[in-house]
Amino acid sequence: MRYLSKTIGVLLLGVSAAAALAGCSVGSERFFVVQNQVPQDGCVIPADRGSLYRGSGTLDVGLVFDGALVGYQLFPLLQNDLPALGQAGGTEPNRIALREFRVHLELAPDAPPALHYLFAAPELGPYLAYSEAWSGTVDPGGGNTAASVTVVPAQVARQIAATGVLNEISTVGLFARVRAVGDTLSDTVESREFVYPIFACNHCLVSYLAACPYDAVNTGNACNVAQDEAVDCCLDGQALQCPARLPTTTN
């Protein structure tokens, strides 16, 4: 199944709302995020456990351009280990219908004081704890489904860049805490928490930079150029273009 890079959508829940709802869920030990999948060409997210996955991520805040809504995107592989109870051709009561992801983004304790001050600002709060809608199903008995969720909104990435901290140190650690939420026929089910480390940097993913135009060899992540993979960029005046491309010719 093809999943295109998804924008963040409406931020629905703050920290208190997420905590209140979490107590209503059941089955977290049998519903979980297996791993973060590596996108294939065309931003196709594989839905099998044998696919490549990442244990940590890199976010280049210098590549989160104006107008972007996504800083870092997670591609969770979900697994439903509830037992299959349905009869052949009948309704399956333990199939999980996905509803949303709940995200809580934290700063590493050893981050510079300027970033701790930033993350404590009330206006940034809705971008640090929120829910993002998602639809789909996960079959019981070990069924897998791939999905995508924004775990660092672009607003957070741009605010980190604006502090100038990453001009002085190479990386800053972040932790994305993610839970998937869905419904069986009888219950709301919340996955156990998946904690994913992300290292934020400034222009560390730019592998080559020259004047435009030229055609990039390293074209970056298939879903989001600001994360995980090296990219060749070019300067068009003062504007950075990533990946670099030759101009389109017309007859």
For the residues 178-193, what does the mean pLDDT come to?
Answer: 95
Would you say 70 and 153 are in contact if contact means Cβ atoms under 8 Å apart?
yes
What is the pLDDT at residue 133? Answer: 97
Domain ranges of the chain: 15-202
Beta bridge partners of 36: 54, 76
For the residues 15-31, what does the mean pLDDT come to?
Answer: 51
Residue 155: pLDDT band (50, 70, 90) is very high
In angstroms, rounded to a whole number, what is the distance separating the alpha carbons of residues 108 and 140?
A: 36
The percent of residues in the chain predicted with pLDDT above 90, rounded, is 78
What is the pLDDT at residue 20? Answer: 36
CA dist list (Å): 159 to 105, 176, 227 = 14, 17, 17
* 3-class state of residue 165 by DSSP: helix
Instruction: Report residue 247 CA to chain centroid gap.
Output: 31
The percent of residues in the chain predicted with pLDDT above 70, rounded, is 87
Q: Which of 65-69, 149-153, 168-172 has the lowest mean pLDDT?
A: 65-69
- pLDDT(132) > 60: yes
Q: Which of 52-66, 140-154, 180-194, 235-249 has the lowest mean pLDDT?
A: 235-249
Residue 29: pLDDT band (50, 70, 90) is confident
Convert the pLDDT of each residue in 79-106 to its tens digit: 999 999 987 767 899 999 999 999 999 9
CA dist list (Å): 202 to 161, 162, 167 = 7, 11, 7
Convert the pLDDT of each residue in 44-55 to its tens digit: 999 998 899 999
In angstroms, rounded to a whole number, what is the distance separating the alpha carbons of residues 45 and 22?
A: 28
Would you say 174 and 107 are in contact if contact means Cβ atoms under 8 Å apart?
yes
- pLDDT(17) > 60: no
Residue 14: pLDDT band (50, 70, 90) is very low
More confident residue, 11 or 83: 83
